[in-house]
Amino acid sequence: MERLFTFFALLLFAVTALAQPTITVEHVQASPGSNVSVEVNVEDFNNVGAISLKIHYDTNILTFVDISDAPAGVNFTYNALNGAVIIGWFDATSTNPLNIGDGLLLKMNFSFSDGYSPLSFVNGENEIANNAGTPFATTIYNAGSVSSSGAILVEEFDYAEGDSLVNHGWTNHSGTGSQIVVSAGSLEYPNYASSNIGNSINIAGGSGSREDVHRTFTDRFDGAVYLSALVNVASAGTAQDYFLHVSQSTASGTSFRGRIYVKDDGAGGLQFGISKSGASIEFAPTTYSYNTTYLLVMKYEFVGDSAADDIAHLFINPDLTNGEPAPTVSNADGSDFPIGAVLIRQGGNAYSLQLDGIRVAPNWQSATVPVELTSFTASVIGNKVNLNWKTATEVNNSGFEVQRSSDAAEFTTISFVPGKGTTTEESIYSFTDDLVNAGGKYFYRLKQIDFDGTFEYSTVIYVDVTSPVNFTLEQNYPNPFNPATTINFNLPVDAKVTLRIFDAIGNEIQQVVDDNLSAGNYVYNVMLSNVSSGIYFYQLDAAGNDGSNFFSVKKMTLLK
């Protein structure tokens, strides 16, 4: 009862005490050769009169473009110099401070090549001051990163309802009416990588001017490009029309390829079709149902060197547990083009449908069901680093290269852990690195490799290989987060440890740790997928084997 009282007393203090501003740079996974926006979020950001930030990045990986999405009326000054984005602002009138509270401060926009770049702060280079010009006594700075993912492009419409796609990397290339905006709700398909995430869009064909949009990526000339999406058709006319396709990166009409069509079959059913170029259309022989979610995958296959031998394939509701199946229908009529854009179209013939979970990838796995890594954690015991990770599903997974780095730039493979092939069951893996030197920071990532040689990197985690002097519970990062964050704590002695998460009224929602742990540094990955946005608290209890005790509570913010 005494410990419960202590927790709620600390909880009340955490809510009512003078807040300390927190600045958190987002961890982002992006496709090689893409443009990427990185959010800089804040917490307890009130009565701010001046901002001076310097965020460092790897110029071999990222090229700075600009700053966007600043609060209304705020004109940040910014510049990129010697691998750092320098951001400044102050309230010249001393009458209009920033009062964001918890939310978005700005976005940094980069051109991303490939690999991994930290987005970090250096002590002494940053300052946040109140409206009187006095620096806050304590400001927390949480670093972020940009790293590569297997997919070339992923669009899960995880934006506010009513928001326009042109605010999120899409470009209008035709039409001014019937703009495409985000709709509430998402679509689901078993084992699909982008199932039931974010929101969706509703598009409709018909008469009048209607907006068409596209997103570009680096033009591809060989192998294949896979375009997958979830579709739920509400209505369609008997005159076919296409609503989703690819093209050259210029998005010119002559290069529209891999067109996915829909039409009513005249008997109350629905048909999907594929056309390589629009010269002819091949419809699937099966009739489908309205108001039903389908997974459609278009594969544009680069075949040879002639001008007209590429093939567009369409897969309808494929089985995602056994690798790439035979296509439902194919079409090869028309000339060949490189592929460097995905396009959403509202055509001239009648149809109405919900679209969600768009993925563009160079292989079947990344377009549909990649190995779904649900956690990747590290802990230090002496000079050994224990790595643990879990997957929810695997398709054609040969295994994982475990890679280590001392600078988060150059990684060396230190081991290979075999995978489970194809499975929809949870799999648990571990590896102990006992070759690190005492002292220093070490970065780790996993390189997941398929049987066909394609691969994908995990996010990068790190540990400090030192001997802790005191018990400490660190601020989680990223914070705010959605839905994953990491929690670090240090034990100077062996201890019985519990780490639990509570909601704002004191209900325990997750027990992260309940175990006897050796002295060392610990990093745990926490997933809060099944709870709503809000303020949460994490509590560390440690009873040392030398009779010492430690108790600490910290606040974190989940933003979905």
How far from chain centre, in Å, is Cα 12? 33
Q: Where are the alpha helices (DSSP H) in 289-367?
A: 364-367
- The closest of 344, 360, 356, 332 to 224, measured between CA atoms, is 360
Amino acid at 544: G
Domains of the chain: 21-148 (2.60.40.680), 153-367 (2.60.120.200), 370-466 (2.60.40.10), 478-560 (2.60.40.2550)
pLDDT for the residue 348:
95
Amino acid at 387: L
In whole angstroms, what is the distance from residue 181 CA to residue 424 CA?
34
Mean pLDDT by 10 residues, the chain (560 residues): 44 46 81 80 90 89 88 82 89 83 92 76 85 81 72 87 94 93 93 86 95 89 89 97 96 92 96 96 96 97 84 94 86 94 96 96 74 74 79 80 87 92 80 72 87 76 75 87 84 92 91 88 80 92 94 90
Write down the pTM of the prediction.
0.49
What separation in angstroms does the CA of 413 have from each of 403, 404, 445, 523? 4, 6, 9, 21
Q: Interior CA angle at 307 toward 306 and 308, to 5°? A: 95
- The closest of 110, 108, 90, 106 to 98, measured between CA atoms, is 90
In whole angstroms, what is the distance from residue 544 CA to residue 276 CA?
67
pLDDT for the residue 2:
44
Q: Which residue has the tokens 């389908």?
A: 294
In whole angstroms, what is the distance from residue 130 CA to residue 442 CA?
36
What separation in angstroms does the CA of 444 have from each of 29, 56, 318, 398, 399? 16, 20, 35, 19, 16
Name the token pair of 507.
């209900």
pLDDT for the residue 485:
84
Helix (H, G, I), strand (E, B) or coil at 400: strand
Helix (H, G, I), strand (E, B) or coil at 6: helix
- The closest of 26, 82, 28 to 54, measured between CA atoms, is 82
In whole angstroms, what is the distance from residue 373 CA to residue 76 CA?
38
In whole angstroms, what is the distance from residue 514 CA to residue 399 CA?
30
- By the 10 Å C-beta count (0-12 exposed, 13-18 middle, 19+ buried), 172 is classed as middle
Query: Who's near 354: CB < 8 A, 6+ residues apart?
Result: 183, 185, 187, 200, 201, 202, 231, 232, 234
Backbone angles phi, psi at 492, to 5 degrees: -75, -20
pLDDT for the residue 367:
77
How far from chain centre, in Å, is Cα 77? 28
Looking at beta carbons, which pairs linking 250-258 to residues 24 or more positions away fall under 8 Å?
250/340, 250/341, 251/171, 251/173, 251/214, 251/216, 251/341, 251/343, 255/337, 256/343, 257/300, 257/310, 257/312, 257/334, 257/337, 257/339, 258/225, 258/227, 258/298, 258/300, 258/312, 258/339
Taking residue 538's Cβ as centre, other Cβ atoms within 10 Å add up to 23
Name the token pair of 209.
């001017």
pLDDT for the residue 148:
59
pLDDT for the residue 108:
94
Name the token pair of 393.
């599903």
Helix (H, G, I), strand (E, B) or coil at 539: strand
Q: Tell me the β-bridge partners of 399.
A: 418, 449
